[in-house]
Structure 1
Amino acid sequence: MNFILGIGIGISLLAIFQLMKEKNAKLISTKIAVLINIVWIVRLAFFLIKDSEIALKFPILLMLDQNLLLLDSVVLWMYSKSLLNTAKFKVKTLLNFLPFIIGFLISVATYLSVPNELIVEQYIKMNNNISSNKSLFTIDVLVLFLVIIIISIIYFSKSIVEIKKYNSILYNHFSSLKNINANWILKFHGLWISLFLIPIILYFINYMYPIINIKILLSIMIIIQVLFSFIFNSNVLSQNYVRIPEKSNIKQDNKSIKEFEEQISKLKKTLNTNKYYQDENLSLVKLSSYLNIKPTELTEIIKCSEFENFYDLINTYRIESIKKELLSSTEQIMIIAYNNGFNSKSAFNRIFKDKIGQTPSNYRSLYKNTS
């Protein structure tokens, strides 16, 4: 098991090194990702220390590790929230660490009030009880267990809200979401709840009412932690960060329905003529500059059109252009897609099927001979 712990620590250390040398090293999102890895390194280090003589020489190390379970959901929420504001950090955010700080202070106060020899004796006794599958039920354990579960559920829920808000903003400002959306965090939270939070629940239940050897559960949790470290860091290192345009304080002029219809018509004509949608990096700000209007004005125009958002507008034009080329040429499908602004095969296939109801190849084979 020490070998697996070493792998986990190595993964996090390597990720920290990569994060700190990247161009995004100064972003708050990157710094929080580093903090997450530090939390995981400390946790895995505690597993190593508690199996060594170091813990017997410094008994306080035997009392601190469980408090780390109060941090995971908080720091993951902070990372999710930072995607909407990658440059600023508010001091009041530190209040979210209050449960961990309180738990830490309680552990320190307990350590200072109990002789070292008694702490070591109790720890050895606890290990013996674990080995013989005896119940270790105490009120302290139950309270800690409930606090960890409640905090985890609260902050995981808050993370999901932040990611959905972030993705919604992306749809209003960008035409391609490759490596900038954060759906992977939603999936990661789902994995965390099912593969880590549930074992924690089983761990504490088994702590009080032994059914299986608690050390087996602990080994499973360590393996899962290492796996999560790999999944999280592989996604974080490929994540691209974008600055979301700030909301303008300028009030829009009151316009009649006819004026909006004229602007929508002009927008459609411009896209058909100049084919700005072929730019894979086209954004709301970039298109508004082409049209010589403010981004907020373009947003209002899109809201009054049949399109859901900027993302839907641009990708609708991309798909319509691709449909024509699929029937008028023999060029490879993905080359046509790339030439019309798509930079991801999976995104193109998904959007095409959502809008047309069939795959690009099926569409070509079905309609090419009839056109």
Structure 2
Amino acid sequence: MNLILDFFLVSGIVIIAIVLLRLLRIKQKELPQKILIVFFLLLFFVSIYFYASLHNIIWLIRLTFLPNDITIITLGPLLFLYVKSLFLKEDSLVKNTLVHFIPTFFFAFGITIPTILFNNFKIDELAYTHTNFIRSIIRIENLYFILYLIISLRLLSKYRKLTKYKYSNLKKYDFNWIKIMLLSALGIIIIDIGLKIYEFFFGDFQWNVDNISVLAMIILVSYLAYYGVNQSKVLLPSFLLVNEVDEPEINKKKKNTLSSEKKEEFEKMKNKLELIIKTEQPYLNEDLTLGKLAEQLSTTDKKLSTMLNQYLNTTFYDLINKYRVEAVKDKINLDSYKNYNLFGIASECGFKSRTSFNRIFKKETGLSPSDFKKSIS
């Protein structure tokens, strides 16, 4: 088991070091990349600490004990801040979020550093399992991490819904990998707690629980390194964040309560939108955004979004992709497209992702693209 653990630890250290070097070489770092640097630094020290413990390298254990000890209580707020940083402007974001790291400060100066000082770096006591109070703190630390993972998942779900109100293609902004990462981290910490409870009631587990968690963490780090470094930032308009997106039923009620002046304004905007869509076909642009379409309408993205949401009871994403599906249906049997496969036609009509195209087409027509083609042949 030690040989396997040694291999994974060394591999993890190398992977993290490569990712850190890659991040540090980026000249103009955005906030998500800065957060990832802190994230990978912490995990680098954790990996080094466990490697040192495995080989009983005393000086290295002493050197990495502090960052290793505060990692669990820091990762929760750090992941929370990372999710927010992908969608929100950097202005005031850090200042408003630093309060979440206060427990890290108290944990470090109230528990970790005193433990190091008062035990004079006695390695067998650095795990500070000698008091019930400390054990209680560790349990709270794990629950604190779980709480932040759940909050981050809810926040991610909210922001992913809001992207449909700005973008017509979500391939670059598919944050499903973050959801998988957060759920995996949640699973790891729950399993870790479960195994420790098992040890408490039934005695030592066959393998060291902490080592199992570290192996899982290294796999998770590799996953994050693959997706996270190049993740595009999505800036959501402030009006979408201030005004929660309403459900369709609420939108229908809002439409009925709109003033006659507002209805008249929205009707004119709708007619102008339909004319532009018919004559200029902006939906064929795979990178079309709410802002770009609003410019063509000589209005603001806020007004356009409000009209779509409250008056037409739809989202920008759904509206544009509805027209893209219609364009595919029109082209699918044309002689000029007979040498194109279905996704080739879809790409000509503004779709970026095969998966999204298949899903949206079936949602609009009730048939898969291939079944639809057969039905009209």
Normalising TM by the smaller chain, what interval? 0.7 to 0.9
Q: How far apart, CA to CA, are the structure 2 residues paired with 1:37 and 1:255?
A: 55
2:97 aligned with 1:76: no
Task: Pick from 149, 156, 165 the counterpart of residue 163 of structure 1.
Answer: 156
Q: How far apart, CA to CA, are the structure 2 residues paired with 1:362 and 1:7?
A: 47
The amino acid across from 2:332 in the alignment is: L
Aligned to 1:226: 218
The amino acid across from 1:161 in the alignment is: R
Contact kept in structure 1, 2:283 and 2:321, CA below 8 Å:
yes
Contact kept in structure 1, 2:166 and 2:289, CA below 8 Å:
yes
1:51 Cα deviation from its structure 2 partner: 3.1
1:141 Cα deviation from its structure 2 partner: 5.0
Q: Which moved more, 1:291-300 or 1:202-211?
A: 202-211
Q: How far apart, CA to CA, are the structure 2 residues paired with 1:162 and 1:58?
A: 37
Contact kept in structure 1, 2:168 and 2:317, CA below 8 Å:
yes
2:237 aligned with 1:260: no
Matches within 5 A, 1:152-301: 152-194=145-187, 196-213=188-205, 215-247=207-239, 255-301=261-307
2:52 aligned with 1:49: yes
TM-score (norm 1): 0.85
Task: Pick from 306, 310, 318 the counterpart of residue 312 of structure 1.
Answer: 318
Q: How far apart, CA to CA, are the structure 2 residues paired with 1:268 and 1:170?
A: 22
Task: Pick from 17, 23, 45 the counterpart of residue 21 of structure 2.
Answer: 17
Task: Pick from 114, 117, 123 the counterpart of residue 112 of structure 1.
Answer: 117
Q: Which moved more, 1:312-321 or 1:51-60?
A: 51-60
Residues 277-305 of structure 1: CA distance to partner in whole angstroms, max 9, x if unpaired?
00000011111111222222212221244
Q: How far apart, CA to CA, are the structure 2 residues paired with 1:60 and 1:21?
A: 26
Describe the shift of the 1:335–1:227 C-alpha distance in structure 2 as closer, same or farther (beyond 3 A): same
Q: How far apart, CA to CA, are the structure 1 residues paired with 2:63 and 2:44?
A: 18
Describe the shift of the 1:259–1:51 C-alpha distance in structure 2 as closer, same or farther (beyond 3 A): closer
The amino acid across from 1:73 in the alignment is: G
Q: Which moved more, 1:12-21 or 1:34-43?
A: 12-21
Question: What SS does structure 2 have at the residue aligned with 1:148?
Answer: helix
2:167 aligned with 1:146: no
Aligned to 1:2: 6
Q: How far apart, CA to CA, are the structure 1 residues paired with 2:371 and 2:302?
A: 39
1:80 Cα deviation from its structure 2 partner: 0.4
Describe the shift of the 1:50–1:235 C-alpha distance in structure 2 as closer, same or farther (beyond 3 A): same
Describe the shift of the 1:203–1:99 C-alpha distance in structure 2 as closer, same or farther (beyond 3 A): farther
Q: How far apart, CA to CA, are the structure 2 residues paired with 1:48 and 1:220?
A: 13
Runs of at least 5 residues in structure 1 that lack an aligned partner in the other structure: 127-135
Q: How far apart, CA to CA, are the structure 1 residues paired with 2:288 and 2:60?
A: 61
TM-score (norm 2): 0.83
Describe the shift of the 1:165–1:216 C-alpha distance in structure 2 as closer, same or farther (beyond 3 A): same
Contact kept in structure 2, 1:5 and 1:48, CA below 8 Å:
yes
Contact kept in structure 1, 2:88 and 2:234, CA below 8 Å:
no
Q: Which moved more, 1:49-58 or 1:5-14?
A: 49-58
Question: What SS does structure 2 have at the residue aligned with 1:282?
Answer: coil
Describe the shift of the 1:361–1:112 C-alpha distance in structure 2 as closer, same or farther (beyond 3 A): same
2:332 aligned with 1:326: yes
Runs of 4+ displaced beyond 6 Å: none
